[in-house]
Amino acid sequence: MMTEQPIGLAKWHEFVNTQNLHVLADALADDVLFRSPAIWKPKAGKAMTMLYLRSAVRVFEDFTYHRQFFGDNAVVLEFSARVGQLSVKGVDIIQFNAEGLIADFEVMVRPANGLQALVSAMAQQLASADASNIER
């Protein structure tokens, strides 16, 4: 069980509040994996993870964390948000490496119609970020 908050978690919360990309970069391990309910295999690396997370914070409206669940070098953050007119609930499952940086970031979202809206909004956001070369 974690005895103190990993630096990656503190930086993640700071990024959510400020959307400062330098803070996000400081939270992530270079070899981080990003797992999304909208893509079938993980995206690897800091640049790709930053692209997806930056896009997600732009898509989610009224994003709020409600609870944190801690485990061995991991945390689950329960959230609610809106995507357009739809309300969603979800969790971010975050694993930390030995340095306390985010090594694995997995997102789960419900209900299905909210997930579908999220997938559509993320595709638009990624396209506007000139991410047409990203495998979806």
Distance (Å, whole) CA 10 – CA 96 = 12
* Mean pLDDT for the chain overall: 91
pLDDT above 70 as % of the chain: 93
Alpha helices (runs of H) in the chain, residue ranges in sequence order: 7-18, 21-27, 46-59, 112-128
Candidate CATH numbers 3.20.20.100, 3.10.450.50, 3.90.79.10, 3.40.1080.10; the one for domain 7-122: 3.10.450.50
Question: Could you report the per-residue pLDDT of 22-39, keeping only the tens digit for each?
Answer: 999 999 999 999 999 888
- The full set of domain ranges for the chain reads 7-122
**What is the Cα–Cα distance from 22 to 19, expressed in whole angstroms?**
9
pTM: 0.89
Q: What is the pLDDT of residues 42-100, one digit of tens each?
A: 999 999 999 999 999 989 999 999 999 999 899 999 999 999 999 999 999 999 999 99
Residue 126: which pLDDT band, with cuts at 50, 70 and 90?
confident
